[in-house]
A and B are shown apart, each in its own frame.
Chain A
Amino acid sequence: MDLRSCKQSGFNWKNEMGDAHLPQRGNHMAIFNIQKREIECKIVFYGPGRCGKTTNLEHIFKAFKKQVTGEMVSVDTEGDSTLFFDFLPMGLGKINGCDVRVQIFTVPGQQKYTSTRKLVLKGVDGVVFVADSLAVRREKNLLSLKDLQQNLREYGQSITRIPLVLQYNKRDLADEGVPIMSVEQMERDLNRQLKVSSFEASATKGTGVGKTLQECLKQTLVSLQKELQWAK
């Protein structure tokens, strides 16, 4: 899967040159440098503890080696739970003459890491919310989505306006005989009002991971384009 196909979103730098100006920063972290023709944006994988955020990143690291521009860094506990964050830098190459770079982060999902989550989320441009399909984690999904909404609000951002994609992870566990929620139920729980794109996935097997990221990147770049036009 070629992530650079997100250029089809219509992201277009033509007729937006004007004079060179300083990198722009607003509520988003995204850095635009017209002079150097560079864009750098931030994607965060959010979700409750043990839902598969890090596993998503690990798969992205292995599957998209061409686009990965550095090492994946994981700051985790002895039990392999994310402690502070995971980080993966990627480059999407030139899109309409501009170098597009992406910094992908995951947050620690467990409740006690509230303040760390908020710090890592700061300056986010696009979010992938990873939900756990296990029935026993239903409430955690809801609490985590609410947590995301509150943290975004504190940064002056709205969960209804930020580029956001939902991923329903661990769909493969249905074969293991453990209770998992139907996609319909997860849509009702998490997406009834948001109405954003959602994808079924199994991060351990890699299915749905690329599609999720591609859609999030597409939405993020379109949003950044609109913001730049609006700012002008």
Chain B
Amino acid sequence: MNIKERIKSLLKEAELYKSQRLLREAREKYTLVIEILQQQTRIQNRDALIAAVEKKRESLDNAIVKWDQSQVNPEVSGKVQDLIKRLFTTPEEGGSDEEKAINEAITLAKFGQHRKALEEFSRLVHMSGVCLSAAKNAIKCYLELSEADEAMETIRGWWREGCFTPEQYTSITSFMQSTFEKKGFNWDDSKMGTDGGDAEEEAFTAPIDDDIIDITSIGINFEDGPMAGQHVELDVSFQSGSLLSLIVGSSEQTLLALLKKGQSIHDVDFYSPIAIFKGSAVVESNTEILSGPKKGDFSLDIRIDSI
């Protein structure tokens, strides 16, 4: 193949790759053409040819830069967001409308639809059954948007509106602090305050959130006390890293008495879709639900201690 045919062939290849939107591959071919032309002295209109191919290559460079800078998860239309919710939210048997709504909002957040997810969390935070989950996921969304100040302001605002009990607020600020620090945002304790709640230090080192797989339910094995020898299974209503939220019915008074805030649970089975893990946990909060379909039941947050 002579030089002219080689150049023609390379240009044809480049054009085909360009038509396939294989921009880098096309660029490589243009570069090769330019290199070949630069080595030739006898080709007519050589300089004009080089300029023409360089212009094509420059156009590709612009397209490549535009592509590289484009957002991975831009906000899409409401119609597509509804489709995302419908197709990618796993329905749970017997779940309430609130639980369905929070799961859908979390799905949106996973697909990078943070603004829309925040709208939904802002609505759901006023529902006592899911307010904790809504608040914590809202914090995550704000941090994904690099809006740490807005996160703090919003949580304070919800606290002033009475969305949380003091214990819930403590749990939220504790979660917010660990999330801020993990993501490298400045944390200022004085900006939050608890206004009557008790800030409790963590007495252990919890597993790093990113390492914790999805836990769908837990089984507690009681070795002693009033429930010695019993195995109790509880569904996880929400998980944020190593923090699991559970609902315990109001009729389970013996169980609730054993799962007071601060209580360590030594023998726990953590059920995930792929395996059962054994470990231990600590009760971070035990709060009565004051309104909504689960009124009278109790919302427990337990943190995985080891797994």
Q: A residues touching B (Cβ–Cβ < 8 Å)?
A: 22, 25-27, 29, 50, 73, 75, 77, 79-81, 83-84, 87, 103, 112-113, 115-116, 119-120, 122-123, 134, 136-137, 155-156, 173, 176-179
Which of B12, B20, B28 sits near A50, CB closer than 8 Å? B20
- Scan residues 109-142 of chain B and give those whose CB is less than 8 A from a CB of chain A: 110-112
Say whether B83 contacts A73, CB under 8 Å: yes
- A25 and B70 CA atoms in complex are apart in Å by 37
Known: A79-B67, A122-B88, A177-B9. A87 touches B83 (CB 8 A): yes
- A136 and B24 CA atoms in complex are apart in Å by 10
- A25 and B90 CA atoms in complex are apart in Å by 10
- Scan residues 260-307 of chain B and give those whose CB is less than 8 A from a CB of chain A: 273-275
Number of B residues near A (Cβ < 8 Å) is 30
Known: A80-B21, A103-B87, A177-B9. A116 touches B72 (CB 8 A): yes
Listed from nearest, the 5 A-B pairs whose CB atoms lie closest are: A156-B274, A136-B25, A178-B13, A50-B21, A178-B16
Say whether B72 contacts A112, CB under 8 Å: yes
- A9 and B127 CA atoms in complex are apart in Å by 50
Set of chain B residues within 8 Å of A179, measured between Cβ atoms: 13
The answer to whether the Cβ of B62 comes within 8 Å of any Cβ in the partner chain is no
Query: Could you show 25 A-B contacts with beta carbons less than 8 Å apart?
Result: A26-B273, A27-B274, A50-B21, A75-B76, A79-B63, A83-B76, A84-B73, A84-B76, A84-B111, A113-B72, A119-B110, A122-B88, A123-B90, A134-B17, A134-B20, A134-B22, A136-B22, A136-B25, A155-B273, A155-B274, A176-B16, A177-B12, A178-B12, A178-B16, A179-B13
| Bitwise interface map of B from 129 to 171 toward A, beta carbon under 8 Å scored 1, else 0 | 0000000000000000000000000000000000000000000
Say whether B273 contacts A27, CB under 8 Å: yes
| Bitwise interface map of B from 231 to 262 toward A, beta carbon under 8 Å scored 1, else 0 | 00000000000000000000000000000000
Set of chain B residues within 8 Å of A136, measured between Cβ atoms: 17, 22, 25, 28
- A93 CB to closest chain B CB (Å) equals 22
Set of chain A residues within 8 Å of B110, measured between Cβ atoms: 119
Extra A-B contacts (8), CB below 8 Å, given A103-B87, A116-B72, A178-B17: A22-B93, A29-B90, A75-B76, A83-B76, A84-B84, A123-B90, A155-B274, A173-B16
- Scan residues 50-98 of chain B and give those whose CB is less than 8 A from a CB of chain A: 63, 67, 70, 72-74, 76, 80, 83-84, 87-88, 90, 93
Say whether B16 contacts A116, CB under 8 Å: no
Q: B residues touching A (Cβ–Cβ < 8 Å)?
A: 9, 12-13, 16-17, 20-22, 25, 28, 63, 67, 70, 72-74, 76, 80, 83-84, 87-88, 90, 93, 110-112, 273-275
The closest CB in chain A to the CB of B72 belongs to A112
Set of chain B residues within 8 Å of A84, measured between Cβ atoms: 73, 76, 80, 84, 111
Say whether A119 contacts B111, CB under 8 Å: yes
Set of chain B residues within 8 Å of A79, measured between Cβ atoms: 21, 63, 67
Set of chain B residues within 8 Å of A115, measured between Cβ atoms: 72
The closest CB in chain A to the CB of B25 belongs to A136
- A78 CB to closest chain B CB (Å) equals 8
Which of B20, B22, B73, B87 sits near A87, CB closer than 8 Å? B87
- A89 CB to closest chain B CB (Å) equals 10
The closest CB in chain B to the CB of A75 belongs to B80
Which of A22, A27, A75, A77 sits near B70, CB closer than 8 Å? A77
- B284 CB to closest chain A CB (Å) equals 28
The closest CB in chain B to the CB of A105 belongs to B87
The closest CB in chain B to the CB of A29 belongs to B90
- A115 and B111 CA atoms in complex are apart in Å by 9
Set of chain B residues within 8 Å of A122, measured between Cβ atoms: 88
Set of chain B residues within 8 Å of A80, measured between Cβ atoms: 21
Set of chain A residues within 8 Å of B20, measured between Cβ atoms: 50, 134
Say whether A119 contacts B274, CB under 8 Å: no
Set of chain A residues within 8 Å of B12, measured between Cβ atoms: 176-178
- A57 CB to closest chain B CB (Å) equals 15
Set of chain A residues within 8 Å of B93, measured between Cβ atoms: 22
Which of A50, A73, A75, A113 sits near B22, CB closer than 8 Å? A50
- A134 and B63 CA atoms in complex are apart in Å by 21
Set of chain A residues within 8 Å of B90, measured between Cβ atoms: 25, 29, 123
Set of chain B residues within 8 Å of A75, measured between Cβ atoms: 76, 80
- A51 and B23 CA atoms in complex are apart in Å by 13
The closest CB in chain B to the CB of A87 belongs to B87
Set of chain A residues within 8 Å of B16, measured between Cβ atoms: 173, 176, 178
